[in-house]
C-alpha cells in the first residue's frame, strides 16, 4: 500500500469492545494483573506503555517501514534518550546546521555524559567521511536542516556510516514521512518532533523514534524512556495520531505553496539569499529531487540590512504570524537567531518561515508587501 493509505489506516482498527471507529483515549495509569500477577492485556503501568500510545507507535512504525517505534513527550525527550543510550566514550558526528537545542546538548551535556562530537557541513559528504573516527558510534543527519535547509544524500551517508560501524539517525522533522523515508534509504533510526507536521495543528507536543530493527539500541532507549519517564501522555498520543491521518494532504499543499512562495520571492531586491531545496539554484536541489517526494513547507530568507532589516520585515507581515515552531495550519515567520538566543550560530539577517494552508497567493502578497515597504 502507498503512504497515503497507510497513514489513514495504520493503528486504526475499530475498538474491539465498542466498535468505535475513532480510537478511544485510555487514561488509566494502571492495568489489571492476572492470577499469576501477569499482564494479560500486555499493559502494566502508564510509564511503560499505554494503549493509545501503542496505537500511535504501531502507526508510525508502519508509515516509516520500521520494526518498532517509541513516542515521547517531546522531540527533545526522544533526542536525549537516544544520545544517553550511547555507550560512554562514543563520538557523534553532527551537521553544523541543525536544531539549535541539539548543538547545546553537544556543547553542555556531552562532557557530562562522556560523549564527544564533531560538527561538519551537512552538505559535504567528504567532510562527514573525514570526521568519522574509530570511536564514532552515531552519524546524526537533519535533512532538510533547521534553519538553512541543507540537504544530504541519505543513501550515501548510510554507506559511509555503516562502513565505519556507526549508526545513522535522521531527524526527519522538516521533511516528514510523507516526503522522505530515511529507513528505506538506509538509515537505522528516524526522529520526528511530532509537535510539528505530524501533530499538524500547533496544539500538541511530542516526539518519536522509529527503528529499522527492534535490536539492542531499541531496547536500551525503551528502558531509558521507562525509567526516566518522558512518555507521551494518552491524550497527546491521540492528538498526534489524529494529525497523522491528514499528514499527506497537508504536506502536499504546504510543499506546493512553499515552492510557489520561494519562486515568487527569488530575486527580490531586498533579499540577499533564499534557502529552499525546491529552487534549482539550491545546492541540495538534485539530491532533494531524488530522495524527497516534494521539497517541504519550510524556507528561510536573508534580508538586506542585517538584524534590523529582518526584524522590520517580520513586523510588517499581516497574514504570517511572528512566532516560532512549524508545521501547523497557519503560516509562521520568525527571526531565528532571536528564538535560538545567546550563542546562536544563525545569521542575524535570517527569517525562517513555515508555510501553512492559506491560499498561496495570499501568502505571496503578504510577503511582497512586507518586503516592498521595509
Ligand atoms: C528539526 C527539529 N528537531 C527537533 C526539534 C525538537 O522538538 P520538540 O520541540 O518537540 O522538543 C525541533 C523543534 O523545533 C526541530 O525543529
Query: Of 55, 82, 97, 99, which is the active-site residue?
Result: 99
Residue nearest to atom 16 of ligand 1 (CA): 99
Task: Give CA torsion, residues 332, 335, 340, 344, to 10 deg.
Answer: 150
β-sheet bridge partners, residue 136: 91
pLDDT, tens only, 206-223? 999 999 999 999 999 999
Question: What is residue 173's predicted lDDT score, i.e. its pLDDT?
Answer: 98
Asked whether the whole model's pTM tops 0.95, one would answer: yes
Q: Which atom of ligand 1 is nearest to the CA of 77?
A: 11
Element (H, E) at 2: none
| From 71, 72, 99, 150, mutation site for ligand 1 pocket: most ligand atoms within 8 A of C-beta | 99
Q: Which atom of ligand 1 is nearest to the CA of 78?
A: 11
Is 171's C-beta closer than 6 angstroms to any atom of ligand 1? Answer: yes
- CA–CA gap between residue 15 and residue 212 (Å, rounded): 28
Is 99's C-beta closer than 6 angstroms to any atom of ligand 1? Answer: yes
Ligand 1 centroid – CA 76 distance (Å): 6
Question: What is residue 374's predicted lDDT score, i.e. its pLDDT?
Answer: 85
Q: Are residues 92 and 136 in contact, defined by beta-carbon separation less than 8 angstroms?
A: yes
Is 295's C-beta closer than 6 angstroms to any atom of ligand 1? Answer: no
CB burial of 145-176 (b: ≥16 within 10 Å; e: otherwise) equals bbbbbbbbbbeebbebbeeeebbbbbbbbbbb
What DSSP assignment string belongs to 289-303?
Answer: HHH-SS--SEEEEEE
* C-alpha cell at position 80: 536525549
Q: Which residues of the chain have pLDDT under 50?
A: none
Closest C-alpha to 184, from 62, 331, 38, 78: 62
- CA–CA gap between residue 356 and residue 328 (Å, rounded): 6
Catalytic, 197? Answer no
- CA–CA gap between residue 277 and residue 86 (Å, rounded): 32
Amino acid at each position: 500500500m502507498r503512504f497515503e493509505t497507510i497513514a489513514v489506516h495504520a493503528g486504526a482498527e475499530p475498538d474491539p469492545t465498542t466498535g468505535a471507529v475513532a480510537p478511544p483515549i485510555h487514561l488509566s495509569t494502571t492495568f489489571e494483573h492476572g492470577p499469576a500477577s501477569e499482564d494479560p492485556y500486555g499493559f502494566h503501568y502508564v510509564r511503560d506503555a499505554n494503549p493509545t500510545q501503542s496505537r500511535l507507535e504501531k502507526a508510525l512504525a508502519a508509515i516509516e517501514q520500521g520494526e518498532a517505534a517509541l513516542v515521547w513527550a517531546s522531540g527533545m525527550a526522544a533526542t536525549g534518550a537516544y544520545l544517553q543510550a550511547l555507550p560512554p566514550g562514543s563520538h557523534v558526528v553532527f551537521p553544523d546546521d541543525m536544531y539549535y537545542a541539539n548543538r547545546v546538548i553537544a556543547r553542555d551535556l556531552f562532557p557530562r555524559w562522556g560523549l564527544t562530537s564533531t560538527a561538519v557541513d551537512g552538505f559535504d559528504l567528504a567532510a562527514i567521511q573525514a570526521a568519522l573516527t574509530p570511536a564514532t558510534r552515531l552519524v546524526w543527519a537533519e535533512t532538510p536542516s533547521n534553519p538553512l535547509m541543507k540537504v544530504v544524500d541519505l543513501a550515501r551517508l548510510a554507506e559511509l556510516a555503516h562502513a565505519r560501524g556507526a549508526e545513522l539517525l535522521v531527524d526527519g522533522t522538516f521533511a516528514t514521512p510523507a516526503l522522505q523515508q530515511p529507513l528505506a534509504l538506509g538509515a537505522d533510526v528516524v526522529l520526528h518532533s511530532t509537535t510539528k507536521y505530524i501533530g499538524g495543528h500547533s496544539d500538541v507536543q511530542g516526539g518519536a523514534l522509529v527503528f529499522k530493527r527492534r535490536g539492542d539500541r531499541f531496547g536500551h532507549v525503551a528502558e531509558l524512556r521507562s525509567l526516566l519517564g518522558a512518555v507521551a501522555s494518552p491524550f497527546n498520543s491521540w492528538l498526534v495520531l489524529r494529525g497523522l491521518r491528514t499528514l499527506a494532504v497537508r504536506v502536499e499543499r504546504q510543499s506546493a505553496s512553499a515552492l510557489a512562495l520561494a519562486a515568487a520571492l527569488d530575486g527580490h531586491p531586498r533579499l540577499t539569499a533564499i534557502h529552499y531545496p525546491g529552487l534549482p539554484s539550491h545546492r541540495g536541489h538534485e539530491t532533494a529531487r531524488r530522495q524527497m517526494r516534494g521539497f517541504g513547507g519550510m524556507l528561510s530568507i536573508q534580508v538586506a540590512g542585517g538584524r534590523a532589516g529582518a526584524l522590520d520585515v517580520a513586523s510588517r507581515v499581516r497574514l504570517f504570524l511572528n512566532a516560532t515552531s512549524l508545521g501547523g495550519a497557519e503560516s509562521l515567520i520568525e527571526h531565528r537567531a532571536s528564538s535560538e538566543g545567546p550563542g546562536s550560530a544563525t545569521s542575524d539577517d535570517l527569517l525562517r518561515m513555515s508555510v501553512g494552508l492559506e491560499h498561496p497567493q495570499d501568502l505571496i502578497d503578504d510577503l511582497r508587501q512586507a518586503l516592498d515597504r521595509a
